[in-house]
Amino acid sequence: MKKVFKANNISCINCANLIKGSLEDDFGEIKVNLDVKPREVTVEIVDDSSEAKFKEEMNELGYSVIEE
């Protein structure tokens, strides 16, 4: 299921490319919307454990996912 996460600290295309390059091997295609604030990251999530892993890896890259 595609899921949209809001994230802090994503400021430019370089940030988006870092996220994609670092995480697409584990999570497939990732889209980063730089036209909204906070930025939105769309990713395929299959279960709760993959969601937790995605949030953890985003945090390790320096981009915290905003919990809603």
Per-residue pLDDT of the chain (68 residues; tens, 9 = 90+): 999 999 999 999 999 999 999 999 999 999 999 999 999 999 999 999 999 999 999 999 999 999 86
Q: Is residue 24 part of a domain?
A: yes
**Cα separation, 35 vs 12, whole angstroms:** 10
pLDDT (0 to 100) of residue 67:
82
pLDDT (0 to 100) of residue 1:
94
Domain carrying residue 28: 2-61
* Inter-residue contact 46 to 1 (CB < 8 Å): yes
Q: Is residue 68 part of a domain?
A: no
Q: Is residue 38 part of a domain?
A: yes
Number of domains in the chain: 1
pLDDT (0 to 100) of residue 14:
98
CATH number for position 23: 3.30.70
* Inter-residue contact 54 to 19 (CB < 8 Å): no
